Structure 1
Amino acid sequence: MDPAPLRSSFSPPHPLDLAQTLRPLSRGTADPTMQWDASGVWRTLPTPLGAATLHLAQNRGTVDATAWGDGAEWAIAAVPELLGAGDDAGDFDVSGNPFLLEAQRRNPGLRLLRTGLVLEMMIAAIFEQKVTGKEARRAWATLVRAHGEAAPGPAPSGMRVFPSAGAWRLIPSWEWHAAGVDPQRSRTAIAAASVASGLERTLALGRGGAEVAKRLRSVPGIGIWTAAETTQRAHGDADSVSVGDYHLPAVVGWALIGSPVDDDGMLELLAPWAGQRQRVMRLIEASGFAKPRFGPRMTIQDHRRH
């Protein structure tokens, strides 16, 4: 008989929008590690103590958490930070920008999460390097389903746990190929898995920053964009900006000044909020703003044909 689940309740001292806060973790409706249903959200976790399934249900100002599996205790303990308990907005002030001020007013429950799971967030970001979201989500679902263990407890059918570092290192080249992951990204993912324990140790350095980014970028194939995407989710970095993103500078430019900019222009626009630049990005995302639909689009690459 499976052990009884662990339960707890988290009552944050601030408004909390569960869906907006967890949005950066979603890898599409077919994501085997995260699913929403009428009862709340289900998420699997590869914790240091073993696999876990976590269910979160929001009831007004309280979030009820239930966890199953060997990693249940770790999963329950991590809920407050997952939901933004350590997120400090400090003196964040958008009163001088009407767009951001309205976005903040409409999204008072947006918090910056911290998963505490570096390898998982890094490999998800590696899959997104220089490809469309559709390609990245397909690769993620294919390989996690094939190599992750079944979710503990009564998780929705088909949910799996992010594979261990050892499992990633053993995936044969033809499986990467079949999943649509090119050799450069697969080599990078394997390199990350090979130093997984070192990656996790960066969590002790805090919620991001230059030293964390430096250590993550010491992995071959990890550049400024992938390191930023990782620290935003794993460490809860409120300031990291995904420089080198195909769409992001134009989105920031259109949202803040009504015209597109490049990476340098984006950083200039975000400079007044140094220390909280990722918070600005999340507010723009939460607002539902979309840049005008014109100009070239990224072409989906099918690496399985080669």
Structure 2
Amino acid sequence: MTTTRRLQPPDGYHFTRTLRSLLVVRHDPCGRVGDRDFWLAARTPEGPGSLHLACAGGELVATGHGPGAAWLVDRADAIAGLRDDLGDFPALAAAHPLVARLARTFSGIRLPATGQIFHRLLRAVLEQKVTGIEAHRAYRAIVRHFGEPAPGPAGLLLPPDPAAVAATPYWVFHPFGVEQRRTQALLRAAVVAARLEQCADSAEATRRLTAIAGIGPWTAAEVVRTAYGDADAVSVGDFHIPNTVAWALAGEARGTDARMLELLEPYAGHRGRVCDLLAAGGISAPKFGPRMPIRSFARF
């Protein structure tokens, strides 16, 4: 089963930079992105499917495969970030020279909204308190362990079925490099995944997510920014972002979560967007001390 739809992106739309955030770096078994095409496998309310977005003559051609094809194509514009409304952000950005410059430079980047919570939650839980290399290595191993082929010709794997994850003993995840604390948070989330997927908006999803033991504001923000395209979601509790915001907006080498939120307050409604722009621009605070080591819990 295939379904096709044509989409009209805005002037200056940046295809790759917008969609790259939906996948882990280097290799994601559930998707891939290039200069002119993008693939994503998903478990939709209508069944498994995969979405292909292709740049063609100034348009985006969205093609869905499998039982979930119609669901994916129907929200292909949201997945591509085309429902992202900048609203009053250009006026807010103009108040700070750096933010204004980054907003102009990266005006073609939009926030995707996949409508898929558990897939992004899997990544976010694995990214808690470890390096990106560790987290992404574990993510790829878990996807392959639960791997089911996705519909379509791209050779992708579907994200793990929450029911299968919930039924798996925590020690199975140890060889993937995931210790008991993160595994238990993931298993708790998998048990209630069906209810999480039914959340009406970002606020409801945040409430339900943070009610799960082991899932705090940082993890919830990472999820809703992608699942709902929430431009205001700030990853409170991040190791780097408070320092980055304090340095970029106030010239302060170190910042707390409270200071970060204070500096971002003028951008209410777009606070997460500002953080994303700083990341896109390669802005970072001065570094002091040793870097976090890359470990493997599988060897413990």
TM-score category by the smaller chain?
A: over 0.9
Is the 1:44–1:54 Cα contact (8 Å) retained in structure 2?
Answer: yes
Question: Aligned AA for 1:76?
Answer: V
2:268 is equivalent to residue 269 of structure 1: no
Distance 1:12 1:74 in 2: 20
TM-score, reference length from structure 2: 0.93
Distance 1:214 1:149 in 2: 31
Is the 1:148–1:164 Cα contact (8 Å) retained in structure 2?
Answer: no
Q: 1:235 aligns with which of 206, 225, 228?
A: 228
Residues 110 and 220 from structure 1, CA distance in 2 versus in 1: closer, same or farther, beyond 3 angstroms?
Answer: same
CA deviations 1:27-82 (Å, max 9, x no partner) are 12121012124651111111111111211112363111122111111111111111
Is the 1:16–1:61 Cα contact (8 Å) retained in structure 2?
Answer: no
- In structure 1, the residue matched to 2:132 is 133
Q: Percent identity?
A: 41
> In structure 1, the residue corresponding to 2:93 is in which secondary structure?
coil
- In structure 2, the residue matched to 1:188 is 185
Distance 1:271 1:199 in 2: 28
Is the 1:51–1:151 Cα contact (8 Å) retained in structure 2?
Answer: yes
CA deviations 1:132-164 (Å, max 9, x no partner) are 100110010001011031121110x4x211011
Is the 1:46–1:162 Cα contact (8 Å) retained in structure 2?
Answer: yes
CA deviations 1:250-294 (Å, max 9, x no partner) are 122222233331211111110111111011112112223344344
Q: 2:213 aligns with which of 220, 223, 226?
A: 220
Is the 1:149–1:161 Cα contact (8 Å) retained in structure 2?
Answer: yes
User: What are the equivalent positions in structure 2 for 1:82-121 lying under 5 Å apart?
Assistant: 82-92=79-89, 93-121=92-120
> In structure 1, the residue corresponding to 2:60 is in which secondary structure?
strand
Residues 201 and 253 from structure 1, CA distance in 2 versus in 1: closer, same or farther, beyond 3 angstroms?
Answer: same
2:54 is equivalent to residue 61 of structure 1: no
- In structure 1, the residue matched to 2:28 is 31
Distance 2:177 2:101 in 1: 40
CA deviations 1:219-246 (Å, max 9, x no partner) are 1211111111111111221111101001
RMSD (Å), alpha carbons: 1.7
Structure 1 residue runs of 4+, over 4 Å off? none
Distance 2:13 2:7 in 1: 11
Name stretches of at least 5 consecutive residues in structure 2 with no aligned partner: none
- Alignment length, in residue pairs? 297
User: What are the equivalent positions in structure 2 for 1:265-304 lying under 5 Å apart?
Assistant: 265-304=259-298
> In structure 1, the residue corresponding to 2:26 is in which secondary structure?
coil
| Residue range with higher mean Cα deviation, 247-256 or 139-148 | 247-256
> In structure 2, the residue corresponding to 1:271 is in which secondary structure?
helix
Is the 1:117–1:200 Cα contact (8 Å) retained in structure 2?
Answer: yes
Is the 1:6–1:76 Cα contact (8 Å) retained in structure 2?
Answer: yes
Name stretches of at least 5 consecutive residues in structure 1 with no aligned partner: none
Distance 1:36 1:294 in 2: 35
> In structure 2, the residue corresponding to 1:161 is in which secondary structure?
coil
> In structure 2, the residue corresponding to 1:175 is in which secondary structure?
helix
TM-score, reference length from structure 1: 0.91
> In structure 1, the residue corresponding to 2:198 is in which secondary structure?
helix
Distance 2:44 2:69 in 1: 8
> In structure 2, the residue corresponding to 1:110 is in which secondary structure?
coil
